[in-house]
Structures are given as structure tokens and as C-alpha cells.
Amino acid sequence: MSGQSVDNQYFDKLYEGNDDPWAMRHRWYERRKRALLLACLPQEHYGSIFEPGCANGETSLALATRCDALLSCDMNSRAVGLTQARLSEIAHAQARQAALPADWPSERFDLIVLNELGYYLNRADFSKVIEHVRLSLNSGGQLVACHWLATIDGAPQTAEQVHAQLQAELGMHKLVEHREGDFLLELWSREPTTVAQHEGLH
């Protein structure tokens, strides 16, 4: 694995002549994983959600149904254009071009979604992302992270390294941990309250 974060040329090649390079729209694996990510969210509805690394907007479209305001971003202009098209009829959702960690937005959020993103950043850059997460989450805010467990060619980190770094540096309560042969899905929250406790069942 290289020591540098992946640059935009890597993604430019993926999007050449292909508006769905990971087959997020059609593969059952991707659709099922997206459903699991949405199902693991402890809150039915969020005020504001930030989704960096939005790719072509398939997950963005689903997240938009769970919030009052959605900001999606990607470093790749083709990805941003595709996401903008997917969100074009949703007034409370927007997509913009931004590279992390340098272009982290100034807004504050109730949920941040790191979906198949962390391993494209080296440890130093990802540490900056984690710091941004901590500073931009509202009281009671949450972070959900989902990553493919296989080695990604050209990526400086693995899913295991990314999630271990999140656990070590976030300083938040882990509410959800789902692991299977293909991917790892975890959610951390500023508050330790479970869904049942929130509804007064404990």
C-alpha cells in the first residue's frame, strides 16, 4: 500500500465512460449494504446530514429521505454532477465538489456518513478528517462508517485500520457494530443512549 492519499486522477479513470463504476445502482450487494446502513441509524430523522465521498449519489438519494438538510460532496467533478442530477428535485439536498480534509465544510451536522471513503486517505489525512468530525458534530451527533474489508488497490489503508483509527481518535460511544465477510459497519454517537432507552423502554 502507498503512503499517500488517493488523488483525483484515480477516480477520473473510474468514471471514464461509466456513471456507476461500483455498480451501486444494480448490484444486490450494494443495495443490501445501503439498506443495512440506513437501518442501523438510531434516529428515524436527522436535522442535518453530511456525506463526504458521495460517488454517484445512490446513497445520497436514500439519506435525503431521513433528514431536513443533506450536504453531499466528492472530490471528483463527474461524481458531483451525477449526484446533483440525482438530487435535483429535492430542495433540501445539495452536492458540491470538495477534497478532504482540506475542503471540510463550515456547517454543523447531526450525522456524518463515511461510506467507503476512509481507506483512500492516509493515516495523517484521516486523522484530520476525524478531528473535523469531532468539531462539526452537534450535541448528540453521530458518525456512521462502512468499509469493504478486502484490500483496495492503491489505497493507503485498510478497513480494519480505518475503523481502529476511528475508535481510537473519535472519543465517542460505539452504538452499532456489524461485521460480515465483506464489510464492516459501525456507528458512534456523542450520547450513549440506545434506541430503546431513547423511547423510555429501559
Q: Is residue 72's pLDDT more than 50? A: yes
Q: How far from the centroid of its chain's Cα atoms is residue 21's Cα?
A: 17
- From CA 37, how far away is CA 31, in angstroms rounded? 10
pLDDT at position 153, please? 86
Of 33-37, 99-103, 196-200, which gets the smallest average pLDDT? Answer: 196-200
Taken as a whole, the chain contains a residue count of 202
- From CA 49, how far away is CA 43, in angstroms rounded? 12
Count CA within 13 A, CB hemisphere, residue 31.
Answer: 4
Q: Structural domains in the chain?
A: 8-198 (3.40.50.150)
Residue type, 141: G
What's the helix, strand, coil split of the chain in %, to 5? 35, 25, 40
Q: Is residue 61's pLDDT more than 50? A: yes
Q: What is the pLDDT of residues 117-128, one digit of tens each?
A: 999 899 999 999
Q: pTM of the full predicted structure?
A: 0.91
Is residue 15 very low, low, confident or very high in pLDDT (cuts 50, 70, 90)?
low
Q: Is residue 1's pLDDT more than 60? A: no
Is residue 14 very low, low, confident or very high in pLDDT (cuts 50, 70, 90)?
low
pLDDT at position 16, please? 74
Residues 186, 163 contacting (CB under 8 angstroms): yes
The burial class, CB within 10 Å (0-12 / 13-18 / 19+), for 95 is: buried
